[in-house]
Chain A
Amino acid sequence: MPTIVDHDIGGGLNHYSDPALWEAATDDTSLTATDEVRVGHLYGHHTTVVTMDGAATDATRYRVLRAAAGQGIKASDPWRFDSSLGAAISSTAGYTVAALWINEDHSRVEGLQVQVSGTNTNQPYRTDNGNLAYRCLFSGGSTTRSVAASATAAGAKIHSCVIIHRGAGASSAAVTLYIGGELRNNIIVAPADLADPADGIFIQYPDGTAVITNNVVCGFASLGSIGTPATCSNNLTDAGSPPSGFSAVAYNTTASAGNTGFENVSDGTHDFRTKAGSALVGAGTATGAPALDLAGTAYASPPPVGAHEIASSSDPTIVSASTTTPSPDQRVTITVTNAGATQGGSTLTLDGDALQIISWSATSITFVFDRADHPNGVPLDLVLTVGGIDSDPFELTPAPPAGWTYVTVASIAGTGGLPASSPIEVDDQIEAEVVTLYDDTTYSAGGSVPHFRFRVWDHDGGGWGDIGQRILLTTTLGQFNQQMRAVGWF
Chain B
Amino acid sequence: MVAEVAFIRRHRQKEGEAQERSYAPGDVILVKGGAWKWGSLDLTNPNWRIVRFTRCDPDDLGVLLRPEVFSDVVGGALARRRAYRFDVERMPAAFRQWWEDDSRFTPILEVTMARAAVLAMLVHKTPRQGRQRVL
- Chain A residues at the B interface, C-beta cutoff of 8 Å: 7-10, 12, 14-18, 20-21, 24-25, 27-30, 48-49, 51, 53-54, 56, 93, 95-97, 101, 103, 123, 126, 128, 145, 149, 151-152, 176, 204, 408-413, 415-416, 426, 445, 472, 474, 476, 482-483, 485
Contact = CB atoms under 8 A, between A and B. Distances in A.
A182 to B, nearest CB: 20
Interface string B68-84: 01000111111001000
A410 B38 contact: yes
Contacts, number: 138
Nearest to A484: B35
A10, A15, A176, most chain B CB atoms within 10 A: A15
Chain B: interface size category: 35 or more
B69 A413 contact: no
Nearest to B73: A152
B22, B42, B77, B108, most chain A CB atoms within 10 A: B42
Summarize B's interface: helix, strand, loop or mixed.
Answer: loop
B39 interface: yes
A259 B29 CA distance: 47
Contacts of A30: 12
7 contacts: A17-B42, A54-B22, A101-B78, A408-B37, A410-B40, A413-B107, A426-B40
Nearest to B20: A54
A8 B42 CA distance: 12
Contacts of A152: 73-75, 77
Summarize A's interface: helix, strand, loop or mixed.
Answer: loop
Interface in B94-128: 103-105, 107-108, 110
A51 B6 CA distance: 16
B37 A27 contact: no
Interface in B21-59: 21-23, 29-32, 34-45, 48, 52, 54
Contacts of A411: 38, 40, 43-44, 107
Contact of B75 (A9, A126, A413, A483): A126
